[in-house]
């Protein structure tokens, strides 16, 4: 039987991942009462769910994929590797939760089933599957940009009787691959990280590839004591650099064009970055790889040559060669992915030449024949960026749902707010730099802005804030104008929604991270230009 009582807070936060945890911290510091809900049984969000073999940070990584709000926190935590694995990131987040006593304000294993705005009271009410219900003036959706799993609808897939796991919903108990014939569907970051790990144990791995990928050496290695000491001693400078960098990492923004260099000089730079590995590859590249076709081709050719060099069988190498602009799908770092194809127990099916016809109880059947398998790993990604907001489907003014509002595109202003949904704020939503930015830092910076906005309402005795439709339209044009300078919209990717049948197809991320934070602060400094307010009822 459902418990019908309603608890009242200043703010309800949905999601206890990296963003929701910081939101809780910041709101508490503001002296507000907060309730956080999460469907998982502990903190961590993406890092709680993604336990597949090989899962690790692939950004410039530790120690910069972390919160920056507490200097003590930064200084006391030891990172072991440059690209921490999932368990190390989760251990860090658990430490943060313990240190700041987050869990007392989080209700776990509680799925928010409905969120509705009441115009008379200017408050949101959320209903959960347990019957717990809460109301709050503000609703913060920290629901994750990569958390709604994409499970492909392939004929017969439900009939497959073997083990089947999605990488983003990996079981908590150990999964053994020993002696098993495993098919991995999907070759994005999750597939490329997991395939070499699975291949080490499994009897056979069949990779089902729809689109070949450019992947770059991860270059993961232990962090030295000197590097940790340097980061700690120079934290103020590094943090400032992170705030000024286009992607939120302590790197210089690049200004040199690939076309300023000779082919030999370009080759030398690519080779040096390739040998070192790591995400800095992309941050230290020429400035125009994502904007000039010619510059892009120079790097694409370099990577294709590397794939041919690493993969011994020429036919397999041919199937692995991407034929679109490099880095226009999310760049991927690999730890032995291409080399895995040199093993006897790994084979590749190119679904463009040999598509899946169906699954049956024991096999995947492609045009060329039947491939018996014991396990299917779905590394098929997410309904990214907008999917989790639509799954929540909040109801705003007049009971209008987000699904009704977001039919043709994901209307928003500043990537944070939506008209007709007063007092609702998104972290890492569409229209924000979200997935193109250091996500913990981005969450902090967006949440700080949201906190200032809440403070403004309170200081001015205002009951609600929401953007105008005109400001949403202008923001949409700005997001698209920035994207259209680049080659990104010209490739099918989850950035453009192309991976989900029927999803609006456009590039919904705000490019140019540090510019974004100037933009949203300008809006604030101009008295929240583009927003409308209502007095307190
Ligand atoms: O998902 P993806 P992911 N039939 O969407 C294929 C972050 N991340 O989980 O390219 C056949 O990238 C799909 O094919 P195609 C990171 O931002 C970070 O790997 O659409 N194939 C693709 O190959 C990353 O980008 C880390 O043609 C189908 C794959 O499945 C994001 O999460 C680690 C299919 C999906 O790749 C998502 O990565 C992991 C179908 N019906 C993830 N549907 C870090 O290291 C999909 N595919 C921090």
Is the Cβ atom of 53 under 6 angstroms away from ligand 1? no
Tell me what pLDDT residue 252 has: 86
Tell me what pLDDT residue 4 has: 64
Q: Evaluate whether residue 170 is within a structural domain.
A: no
Q: Helix-strand-coil percent breakdown of the chain, rounded to 5?
A: 35, 20, 45
Residues 371 and 398 both lie in one domain: no
Residues 371 and 389 both lie in one domain: no
Report the separation in Å between the CA atom of 215 and the middle of ligand 1, taken as the mean of its atom positions. Answer: 13
Residues 66 and 206 both lie in one domain: no
**Cα angle 482, 488, 489; round to 5:** 80
The protein residue with its alpha carbon nearest to ligand 1, atom 24, reads 189
Residues 192 and 216 both lie in one domain: yes
Digit-by-digit pLDDT tens for the chain (537 residues) are: 355 689 999 999 999 999 999 999 999 999 999 999 999 999 999 999 999 999 999 877 778 999 999 999 999 999 999 999 999 999 999 999 999 999 999 999 999 999 999 999 999 999 999 999 999 999 999 999 999 999 999 999 999 999 999 999 999 999 999 999 999 999 999 999 999 999 999 999 999 999 999 999 999 999 999 999 999 999 999 999 999 999 999 988 889 999 999 999 999 999 999 999 998 888 889 999 999 999 999 999 999 999 999 999 999 999 999 999 999 999 999 999 999 999 999 999 999 999 999 999 999 999 999 999 999 999 999 999 999 999 999 999 999 999 999 999 999 999 999 999 999 999 999 999 999 999 999 999 999 999 999 999 999 999 999 999 999 999 999 999 999 999 999 999 999 999 999 999 999 999 988 899 999 999 999 999 999 999 999
Residues 299 and 365 both lie in one domain: yes
Q: Domain total for the chain? A: 2
Tell me what pLDDT residue 253 has: 81
Residues 250 and 135 both lie in one domain: no
Cα pseudo-dihedral 13, 16, 21, 24, rounded to 10: 30
Helix (H, G, I), strand (E, B) or coil at 453: helix
Is the Cβ atom of 148 under 6 angstroms away from ligand 1? no
Residues 421 and 441 both lie in one domain: yes
Strand ranges inside 176-320, DSSP E: 181-185, 204-209, 215-217
Residues 189 and 335 both lie in one domain: yes
CB 446 within 8 A of CB 405: no
Q: Evaluate whether residue 165 is within a structural domain.
A: no
CB 518 within 8 A of CB 354: no
Residue-wise burial string across 247-274, b where 16 or more C-beta atoms lie within 10 A, e elsewhere: bbbbbeeeeeebeebeeeebeebbeebe
Cα–Cα distance measured from residue 381 to residue 186, given in angstroms and rounded to the nearest whole number? 8
Report the separation in Å between the CA atom of 328 and the middle of ligand 1, taken as the mean of its atom positions. Answer: 13
Q: Evaluate whether residue 168 is within a structural domain.
A: no
Is the Cβ atom of 436 under 6 angstroms away from ligand 1? no
Residues 201 and 349 both lie in one domain: yes
CA distances from 339 to 1, 192, 248, 316, 347 (A): 55, 11, 31, 11, 12
- Of 378, 403, 438, the one marking the end of a domain is 378
The protein residue with its alpha carbon nearest to ligand 1, atom 34, reads 380
Q: Evaluate whether residue 300 is within a structural domain.
A: yes
User: 255 φ, ψ to 5°?
Assistant: -125, -10
Which atom of ligand 1 has the smallest separation from the CA of 59?
48
The protein residue with its alpha carbon nearest to ligand 1, atom 40, reads 152
- Of 378, 405, 431, the one marking the end of a domain is 378
Residues 142 and 250 both lie in one domain: no
The protein residue with its alpha carbon nearest to ligand 1, atom 10, reads 211
- Of 358, 378, 398, the one marking the end of a domain is 378
Residues 136 and 12 both lie in one domain: yes
Q: Can you name the residues that pair with 127 across neighbouring β-strands?
A: 114, 133
Tell me what pLDDT residue 3 has: 52
The protein residue with its alpha carbon nearest to ligand 1, atom 18, reads 189
Which atom of ligand 1 has the smallest separation from the CA of 83?
45
Strand ranges inside 415-509, DSSP E: 424-426, 462-467
The protein residue with its alpha carbon nearest to ligand 1, atom 20, reads 499
Q: Are strands 363-366 and 356-359 parallel, antiparallel or unpaired?
A: antiparallel
Q: Evaluate whether residue 71 is within a structural domain.
A: yes
- Residues with Cβ within 8 Å of 187's Cβ and at least 6 positions away in sequence, in order, are 195, 207, 209, 210, 211, 212, 213, 379
Is the Cβ atom of 381 under 6 angstroms away from ligand 1? yes
Is the Cβ atom of 330 under 6 angstroms away from ligand 1? yes
Q: At what angle do helices 513-525 and 439-459 cross, to 10 degrees?
A: 0
Q: Evaluate whether residue 166 is within a structural domain.
A: no
Q: Evaluate whether residue 163 is within a structural domain.
A: no
Is the Cβ atom of 191 under 6 angstroms away from ligand 1? yes
User: 389 φ, ψ to 5°?
Assistant: -65, -40
Which atom of ligand 1 has the smallest separation from the CA of 58?
45
Question: How big is the chain, counted in residues?
Answer: 537
Is the Cβ atom of 509 under 6 angstroms away from ligand 1? no
Rama region for 431: left / alpha / beta (φ>0; ψ in -120 to 50; rest): left
Residues 84 and 208 both lie in one domain: no
> What is the DSSP secondary structure assignment for residue 30, as one 8-state letter?
T
Q: Evaluate whether residue 510 is within a structural domain.
A: yes
Q: Which two tokens stand for residue 294?
A: 């010619």
CB 511 within 8 A of CB 445: no
* Containing structural domain, residue 275: 181-378
- Residue 451: give its domain's CATH number: 3.50.50.60
């Amino acid at each position: 039987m459902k418990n019908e009582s309603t608890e009242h807070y200043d703010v309800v936060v949905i999601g206890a991942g990296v963003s929701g945890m910081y939101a809780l911290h910041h709101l508490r510091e503001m002296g507000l009462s907060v309730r956080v809900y999460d469907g998982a049984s502990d903190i961590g969000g993406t890092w709680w769910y993604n336990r597949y073999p090989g899962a690790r940070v692939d950004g410039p990584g530790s120690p910069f994929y972390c919160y920056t709000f507490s200097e003590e926190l930064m200084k006391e935590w030891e990172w072991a590797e440059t690209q921490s694995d999932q368990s190390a990131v989760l251990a860090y987040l658990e430490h943060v939760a313990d240190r700041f006593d987050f869990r007392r304000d989080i209700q776990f294993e509680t799925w928010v089933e409905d969120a509705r705005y009441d115009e008379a009271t200017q408050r949101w009410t959320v209903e959960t599957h347990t019957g717990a219900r809460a109301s709050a003036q503000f609703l913060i959706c920290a629901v994750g940009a990569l958390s709604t799993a994409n499970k492909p609808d392939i004929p017969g897939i439900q009939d497959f009787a073997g083990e089947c796991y999605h990488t983003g919903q990996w079981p908590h108990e150990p999964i053994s691959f020993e002696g098993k014939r495993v098919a991995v569907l999907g070759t994005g970051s999750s597939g490329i990280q997991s395939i070499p790990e699975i291949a080490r144990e499994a009897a056979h791995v069949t990779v089902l590839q729809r689109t070949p990928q450019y992947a770059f050496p991860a270059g993961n290695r232990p962090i030295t004591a000197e590097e940790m000491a340097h980061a700690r001693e120079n934290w103020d400078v590094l943090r400032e650099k992170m705030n000024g960098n286009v992607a939120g990492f302590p790197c210089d923004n690049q200004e040199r064009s690939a076309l300023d260099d000779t082919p030999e000089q370009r080759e030398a730079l690519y080779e040096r970055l390739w040998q070192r590995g790591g995400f800095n590859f992309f941050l230290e590249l020429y400035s125009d790889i994502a904007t000039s076709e010619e510059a892009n081709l120079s790097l694409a050719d370099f990577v294709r040559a590397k794939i041919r060099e690493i993969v011994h069988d020429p036919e397999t190498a041919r199937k692995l060669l991407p034929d679109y602009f490099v880095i226009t799908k999310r760049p991927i770092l690999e730890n032995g992915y291409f080399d895995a194809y040199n093993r006897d127990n790994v084979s590749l099916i190119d679904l463009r030449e040999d598509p899946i016809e169906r699954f049956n109880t024991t096999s995947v059947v492609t045009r060329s024949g039947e491939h018996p398998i014991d396990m299917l790993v779905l590394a098929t990604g997410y309904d990214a960026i907008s999917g989790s907001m639509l799954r929540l489907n909040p109801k705003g003014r007049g009971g209008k749902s987000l699904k009704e509002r977001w039919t043709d595109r994901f209307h928003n202003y500043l990537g944070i707010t939506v008209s007709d949904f007063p007092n609702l704020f998104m972290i890492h939503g569409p229209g924000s730099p979200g997935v193109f930015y250091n996500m913990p830092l981005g969450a902090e910076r967006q949440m700080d802005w949201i906190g200032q906005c809440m403070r403004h309402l309170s200081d001015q005795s205002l009951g609600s804030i929401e953007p105008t439709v005109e400001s949403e339209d202008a923001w949409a044009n700005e997001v698209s104008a920035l994207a259209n300078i680049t080659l990104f919209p010209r490739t099918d990717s989850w950035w453009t929604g192309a991976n989900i049948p029927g999803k609006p197809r456009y590039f919904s991320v705000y490019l140019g991270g540090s510019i974004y934070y100037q933009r949203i602060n300008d809006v604030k400094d101009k008295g929240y230009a583009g927003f409308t307010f209502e007095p307190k009822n």
